Amino acid sequence: MLTFTIRRLVLAIPTLLFISLVIFLLLELAPGDPMAQVPLTVPPEVKEKMREALGLGQPMHIRFWKWIVQFFWIEPQVLIDHMFGTTFSAGDLRVISWQTRSPVMDIVVQRIPQTLWVVGTAYVVAIIIALPIGIYSAYRQYSWFDQLGTFVSMVGFSVPPFFSGVLVIVIFSVQLGWFPSIYDTTLVVNSWDSFVQQLKQMVMPVMVLALQITAQLSRFMRASMLDNLNQDYVRTARAKGLSEYVVVMVHVLRNSMIPVVTVIALGIPSIFGGAIITEQVFKVNGIGQLLIGALQANDLPMVQTLTFIFAVLIVLFNLIADVLYGILDPRIRYD
């Protein structure tokens, strides 16, 4: 297992380099001009100097190489300096946002807590709810519980978040007045009252996101359980006199979790990517809203860095899912 993990990590390096090149070329070929936001009263020669200051006058391969060095060499040094108080990155130029003229990673670090509070909580809540629903729906196939779970899952798949988000705002915020309609990103949790306020403003966005994620995971869990409940080893376990709880919750569940682990692991990067539409509806100042703002402003360094971070997370959690396969199923060996 260790050899497999090391080999996958080594192979991930050229994969990520190729992904970074594709992202860079796509953004370079995309329409839009960073100078489009500059007022028309600015003289052309001033605009040209602004272009040179942003590095737009350099060839593409030079700009790509500079971004690679800044992201893979300078930014890790900044992290080490922050953790241990060293000065390895002193004076080095970091990846700078064209929109704010501040380091991109500093802005990302500021936005991550808001995304983790809302989207991360919704993902955990969805897993806790979806797995038992999928297990019991498969065990009691075609029962009223299974039919109800199927209906709720269809609603969760079908209703887009921009509709369900506005709907819960109208019901729970405008009509009932239970929860705030706008997420206060400036709230500091330092007391019980502020903690309660944080929970209240998280309820509606978490509800909208958890509905979608629960619908997906519960269907995967149900389908996987149904595939295993009819296997020969289940009949053998029952014939040996094992209790129904042990048969279902130990033998069937462990084998059924193998495909579900893939869905869960590959969904974790979406936590950091943020739910873009939901963050826009509830005004959550997270990573998703940061990406939308960068796209609208043609802030290429910000867009490139965020999309590459998402790619890194996807490659990493692909590896984690493969490792978990070997833990859940002893038949799977990578050596």
Q: Assign 171 a pLDDT band (cuts: 50, 70, 90).
A: confident
Q: What is the pLDDT of residues 282-319, one digit of tens each?
A: 877 888 788 888 887 777 888 888 888 888 888 888 88
Q: What is the pTM of this model?
A: 0.77
**Residue 255 shares a structural domain with residue 131:** yes
* 36 has a pLDDT exceeding 80: no
Q: In whole angstroms, what is the distance from residue 313 CA to residue 319 CA? A: 10
Q: What is the pLDDT of residues 66-122, one digit of tens each?
A: 888 888 887 777 777 777 777 766 667 777 777 777 888 888 888 888 888 888 888
- Residue 247, pLDDT score: 83
The verdict on residue 19 lying in a domain is no
Q: In whole angstroms, what is the distance from residue 116 CA to residue 253 CA? A: 29
Cβ within 8 Å of residue 18, ≥6 positions away: none
**Residue 206 shares a structural domain with residue 227:** yes
Which of 73, 97, 121 is the endpoint of a domain?
97
Tokens of 158: 């079908």
Q: Range of 73's domain?
A: 36-97
Q: Assign 47 a pLDDT band (cuts: 50, 70, 90).
A: low
Which of 67, 97, 127 is the endpoint of a domain?
97
Neighbours of 32 (CB within 10 A): 12
Tokens of 196: 């309660």
Cβ within 8 Å of residue 245, ≥6 positions away: none
Domain total of the chain = 2
**Residue 73 shares a structural domain with residue 196:** no
Q: Within its chain, how far is the Cα of 236 from the centroid?
A: 41
Q: What is the pLDDT of residues 133-162, one digit of tens each?
A: 988 888 888 888 888 888 888 888 788 877
What b/e string do you get for 57-83 counting C-beta neighbours within 10 Å, with b at 16 or more? eeeeeebbeebeebbeebbebbeeeee
- SS3 (DSSP) at 45: helix
**Residue 114 shares a structural domain with residue 91:** no
Tokens 């893939």 map to which residue? 262
Which of 60, 76, 97 is the endpoint of a domain?
97
Neighbours of 210 (CB within 10 A): 21
Q: What angle do CA 258, 207, 169 make, to 5 degrees?
A: 155
